[in-house]
Chains A and B, each alone.
Chain A
């Protein structure tokens, strides 16, 4: 009995922290659908991917439905691949309706997981634009359910992501290493549409040579949803 208490206490103590960290990591409001890595690059005619997720805070997610709106002249959606939500394998289905992707995730594996950021799927696309062009995608939560079927109110706003067509791209690891901080107002505004709750966003900015340059933008934390 004492052993059990000894083990449980640190675990229990760590849970809120983990949840809080999870929320802080992406700095979303509960109920938002968003892109995990909101600004990505792709070569002209090349393939790229963005991962869409919902944020549920400390609540477990039983099912979620989001829409992703995109410009079919700039992107050709090739498919949506399932992703693991932590250690939970969820089921995902998607359908394309015009320029809107409907993505549905259901969780038949756990009643207590996943919590926090819950990835739904990875959208694979082909970039149709020219070097230097940036196209936006918008993720919107339609319905999020706890495993007991109670609703988690979906965020009212559609959150932005973008795809920049670059002559050459950088890998995610190199982005972190090479990204430069910026407080340039237009970049802050661009990042704010991706992380309205605040946090750090790495944007892809194309230089004169068509090379994508990662730029870090710090968004001040918002106590509440901006109206």
Chain B
């Protein structure tokens, strides 16, 4: 049994390799199409093409190669097949004696040197074999009873389970979820009944009804057992190259990024040009709400290429405890990544599955994290450094917090958090996509052998948990932090009082910053042990977030949940561990903890003062002047020139906020005139009370009915609006009058006297002030 398992594992690896080559080929076009050689060692680019992506044992397959660039003159093409066959020529044919994936590699020779190399793969099938059994392709969906195939008894047990008449064990429940929507319900009963009515295994179309970008859609179809079969996939009518074909009876499809909403995919398996099986899919656009999907697949891979380039830099600069050989191997991975993402992916998987995979994966992860979060780490270190300095100085009391401290510590801290959250959110798009792509092929290999623990261990879990999960966890931390931090939006405000001045008079100027949305963050850590609570909250969100937003993780988790519960548990443990490590490693976590514990207690929930001497923009002498106070405020003085010279002055505060330079302005009138306003109750009964309002402020009123009352009110030159409002009129007759001094002429508005100014009624007058 052990030997069998090992053989299967090796076979898997071989199959995986073949599939990956095919995958690379597929990226360049349709079917078994060409791949580009590593740029570093070639002078020409060639394309290799296999006439078929699958072939029968013993049947000849044509291969061809052509140069696609004007590089060196090619003297000879040398072919090497993975079963040991060799051939020369631009067009060759080969047949293969045993079933399995076969790789054809061609070298372009010029002047005795290999100037280009490319390969393609073909799946060789023995039409008489039983590949379903041989490869352990799952056929137990809907097979609750675990007998030969899904049938009437399965449909009945499923219906009884849905109807609450019986119970099923976990494995049976997993098998009962035929439409893979994580719910066992009437829809599954109907599908099971359809299968029973059809008298055959569940149609392949039932296996997956919808998919997200990065998800691997598995297609198990009897039609694919035919060596002459071909798979064609179209997304919204456009042919897609993302087809994996590696085992008889089985094909898979990596849902591309950059999908339009509600894209439709059609998978057609044809034999000799005749459609034998079809699978219709609803492809859903990105689940990441804040991250727009890539514009197109090419741009998507370009992004990954850039990531690989950055990884290369990080790796080569940071071998960290590796043997020279391992370091060199890892460097070769990164180098390959510079040329083509696919090469790196292939190499990466090979390396991770190798004897030193653990160490290499760890270093690779570290390198990736170091790269992906370089800016973030440096920013967070800076934040942490300042936080530590603050801590050393002792917690700031609310009363002791100074405008300068807000300016120098709190605001930059917050902005760095926001910045890193934004940056990591962007990085998560790239790395998650890369991770999904990397694991997709591994997952395919693991998925077809669900019962073979060691094989999955090598093929999927080893690479996925050790490589992708930590990345996903880290990025999910970032994403979660982003959710919390991003809404916090500091804004600059300016308060000036009063706004109407006479020449030479002064007003108090108070610049402030308002932390809009801060309550949510602070609310998370309102109680004792704030940092711990925040970490716990974030930790929970992280694991859920990974399973929700990382399509590869979710696909794998779903699959394990259904077919290998122990590995599912292991995966979740891996996620939890990785999340914990990521939280510990992420400096931004410390920054948040620091922020919550040190700042929330002292930053006012509303506005915090900013230092006027640093944020107020200078004024020209003819617009007045500032004198700064020790509490961070300032006094603005209107110029002493004649009122006609300066009518208004614009006071402006400016300081870098998180999204750029924040500004706040206020206009002060410096040429006011004193207008005498007189008003009162001129009716038979003295029973009415009124108030007069200018610029939103009550400038004249009385606490009791008066016949006449006056006030001298400074009003800027020009037009002004005066409102008179009724406050009391016991007999519902509000008899009023209002007059202005001669320097203010009423130019529009209501009558200046009347008897209808009752409570709730407002009279409006426009005056022109000289």
Contacts and interface: CB of A to CB of B under 8 A. Distances in A.
3 closest cross-chain pairs (CB), A and B: A108-B159, A108-B163, A63-B156
A6 to B, nearest CB: 30
Interface in A96-154: 102-104, 106-111, 143, 145, 147, 149
Contact of A95 (B151, B152, B192, B198): B198
Interface string B357-389: 000000000000000000000000000000000
A65 B196 contact: yes
Contacts of B161: 108
Contacts, number: 73
Contacts of B193: 91-93, 104, 106
Given A106-B192, A108-B160, 5 more contacts: A63-B155, A65-B152, A102-B199, A111-B165, A143-B152
A106 B165 contact: no
A62 interface: yes
Given A91-B186, A91-B189, A107 B198 contact: no
11 contacts: A65-B196, A92-B193, A93-B193, A95-B197, A102-B197, A104-B155, A104-B196, A106-B159, A108-B189, A145-B153, A147-B156
Contact of B165 (A103, A110, A149): A110
A108 B196 contact: no
A143 B147 CA distance: 16
A10 to B, nearest CB: 28
Contacts of B196: 65, 93, 104
Interface residues of B, number: 24
A82 to B, nearest CB: 11
Interface in B170-225: 186, 189-190, 192-194, 196-199
Contacts of A102: 197-199
Interface string B570-613: 00000000000000000000000000000000000000000000
Contacts of A106: 152, 155-156, 158-159, 189, 192-193
Contact of A108 (B151, B162, B194, B198): B162
B152 A109 contact: no
B157 interface: yes
Interface in A43-85: 62-65
Contact of B156 (A92, A94, A103, A107): A107
Interface in A188-211: none
Contacts of A110: 165
A106 B160 CA distance: 9
B152 A63 contact: yes
Given A104-B152, A106-B152, A95 B165 contact: no
Contacts of A109: 163, 165
Nearest to A65: B152
Contacts of B159: 63, 91, 106-108
A145 B162 contact: no
Contacts of B194: 93, 95, 104
A214 B193 CA distance: 37
Main secondary structure of the interface of A (DSSP, over half): strand
Nearest to A62: B156
A142 to B, nearest CB: 8
Contacts of B156: 62-63, 106-108, 145, 147, 149
Contact of B153 (A63, A92, A103, A108): A63
A84 B152 CA distance: 19
A106 B190 CA distance: 9
A103 B152 contact: no
Nearest to A149: B153
- Which of B156, B186, B196 counts the most A-chain CB atoms under 10 A from its CB? B156
A108 B165 contact: yes
- Which of A63, A93, A108, A149 counts the most B-chain CB atoms under 10 A from its CB? A108
Q: How large is the interface on A (under 10, 10 to 19, 20 to 34, 35 or more residues)?
A: 20 to 34
Interface string B280-301: 0000000000000000000000
A85 B158 CA distance: 19
Interface in B107-165: 145, 151-153, 155-163, 165
Interface string B700-713: 00000000000000
A93 B190 contact: yes
Nearest to A150: B153
A63 B194 CA distance: 13
B187 to A, nearest CB: 11
A95 B196 CA distance: 10
A102 B153 CA distance: 16
A104 B197 contact: yes
Interface in B390-415: none
Interface in A27-55: none
A143 B199 CA distance: 11
Nearest to B191: A93
Nearest to B189: A91
A77 B199 CA distance: 20
Given A63-B155, A108-B189, A103 B163 contact: no
Nearest to A144: B152
A109 B197 CA distance: 20
Contacts of B197: 65, 93-95, 102-104
Nearest to B193: A93
Contacts of B199: 102
A110 B163 CA distance: 8
- Which of A64, A91, A109 counts the most B-chain CB atoms under 10 A from its CB? A91
Contacts of A149: 145, 153, 156-157
Nearest to B156: A63
Contacts of B162: 108
A186 B156 CA distance: 41
A92 B194 CA distance: 9
Contacts of B145: 149
B135 to A, nearest CB: 30
Nearest to B196: A104
A107 B153 CA distance: 11
A186 to B, nearest CB: 36
Contacts of A103: 197
Nearest to B165: A111
B203 to A, nearest CB: 11
Nearest to A93: B193
Given A91-B193, A94-B197, A102-B197, A147 B165 contact: yes
Contacts of B158: 106, 108
A79 to B, nearest CB: 14
Contacts of A62: 156, 160
B477 to A, nearest CB: 44
A147 B156 CA distance: 8
Contacts of B151: 143
A127 B157 CA distance: 37
A95 B161 CA distance: 24
Contacts of B157: 149
A63 B192 CA distance: 12
Contacts of B186: 91
- Which of B153, B161, B192 counts the most A-chain CB atoms under 10 A from its CB? B153
Contacts of A104: 152, 155, 193-194, 196-197
A108 to B, nearest CB: 3
A65 B198 CA distance: 11
A111 B156 CA distance: 11
Contacts of B198: 95, 102
Nearest to A105: B193
Nearest to A110: B165
- Which of B145, B151, B160 counts the most A-chain CB atoms under 10 A from its CB? B160
Contacts of A147: 156, 160, 165
Contacts of B160: 62, 107-108, 111, 147
Interface in B199-256: 199
